[in-house]
Amino acid sequence: MHLRSCFLALSRFEYVALCGCLCLLICQGCGALGQRPAVHVMGYVAETGVPAYLREPDLELAEPAFAASVKLTEALLETAPDDTRLLLQVVQGLAGYTYAFVEGRIEAARGRDPEQVRLQTQRAQRLYQRGLQYGLRLLSQYHPPLLQATALPLETLTMHLRRLDRDAVPALSWTSFCWGGFLNLERTALETVTALPLLQAMLTRLLELDEGYFYGLPHLLQAVHYASFATALGGDPAQAQYHFMRAYALSQGRLLLVPLLEAQYYAVQVQDRALFTERLQYILEAPETLFPEQALLNAVARRRAVLLLRRIDELFI
């Protein structure tokens, strides 16, 4: 049987068992297999198993699996540090884990446990920063100067970003996600003020290359960017609304993160309480079968919608 067919036939638990066995082989030197071929096989298994994670609607089951997947991929990168597939998996994994679970803890603690808000915010920043560093390594595989993207002058960064083509879209998307997530948790820092134009350059190039990647993720990132900051720092409510509308269109209204983030950022920014309530109620009333391929992200949106509605009187004057 063809290798791909064999792996696709595995159950979720067989995937885990095979990954564990292969990990032991690598740790012991792999014998006749050799480390590089074993890493290649395990990377393939992990990559083809990603849809199983995204289809999981149970957040308690998904969280430890996400964490284990990130650590497994980091272990593989010790042997193959320049493997673009592994680098992409770890950047995407850190972005998803941090947003879905660590930021979820921040939101759950707001107004109830300031110490937990502080600790989980610090943890989220560390994880986003970790994802960003992997993302820069990944981008450098497409164009080496981008390893230093966060430290380049704006004009220089823009010039280097022009060298990227559509093949780099996943790398640019998840690296931007991690950087944006980090900056959004540190809005008043001087580092954030100086970094925002650089992040905007990355988002602009991303939209030029492929606005429809991952159900309109480039538009969603740009919308949150415009809705998160004051006008003096590049915020723009009208542009935020436009990009949210494009994200709705490209996801065909099935990805509940879009109305969630519109409520959390845009509705709060323009102080539209009615829109805030409407979007969050839409999420809570949406059927669980709305988007089976992204059941995990939609489950995250439902949990976060409940938490945001609890804070409505705090968020609106």
* Token pair for 119: 């600790």
| Confidence band of 142 (pLDDT split at 50, 70, 90) | very high
Helix (H) or strand (E) holding 223: helix 213-228
| Confidence band of 9 (pLDDT split at 50, 70, 90) | very low
pLDDT of residue 43: 60
Q: What is the pLDDT of residues 214-231, one digit of tens each?
A: 999 999 999 999 999 988
Question: Comparing 213 with 13, which gets the higher pLDDT?
Answer: 213
| Confidence band of 5 (pLDDT split at 50, 70, 90) | very low
Whole-angstrom Cα distance, residue 95 to residue 176? 10
pLDDT of residue 186: 87
Task: Say if residues 219 and 226 touch (Cβ distance below 8 Å).
Answer: no
Task: Say if residues 182 and 91 touch (Cβ distance below 8 Å).
Answer: no
Whole-angstrom Cα distance, residue 82 to residue 41? 16
| Confidence band of 29 (pLDDT split at 50, 70, 90) | low
Specify the 3-state DSSP secondary structure of 121: helix
By CB atoms closer than 10 A (0-12, 13-18, 19+), residue 288 is exposed
Cα 58–chain centre separation: 18
pLDDT of residue 32: 40
By CB atoms closer than 10 A (0-12, 13-18, 19+), residue 44 is middle
Task: Say if residues 235 and 226 touch (Cβ distance below 8 Å).
Answer: yes
Percent of the chain clearing pLDDT 90 (strictly above): 78
pLDDT of residue 46: 60
| Confidence band of 280 (pLDDT split at 50, 70, 90) | very high
Whole-angstrom Cα distance, residue 62 to residue 54? 9
- Kindly state the DSSP code that residue 264 receives in the 8-state scheme: I
HSE-up of 25 (CA within 13 Å, CB side)?
19
Q: Is pLDDT of 45 > 80?
A: no
Sign of CA dihedral 278, 280, 281, 285: positive
Q: How far apart are the first and last CA of the chain?
A: 64
Polymer length in residues for the chain: 317
Task: Provide the whole-model pTM.
Answer: 0.88
Q: Is pLDDT of 112 > 60?
A: yes
- Walk me through the domains of the chain, giving residue ranges and CATH numbers: 96-210 (1.25.40.920)
Q: Is pLDDT of 6 > 60?
A: no
| Confidence band of 19 (pLDDT split at 50, 70, 90) | low
pLDDT of residue 7: 41
Task: Say if residues 39 and 277 touch (Cβ distance below 8 Å).
Answer: no
Specify the 3-state DSSP secondary structure of 235: coil
C-beta atoms surrounding 59 within 10 Å: 16
Q: Amino acid identity, residue 138?
A: L
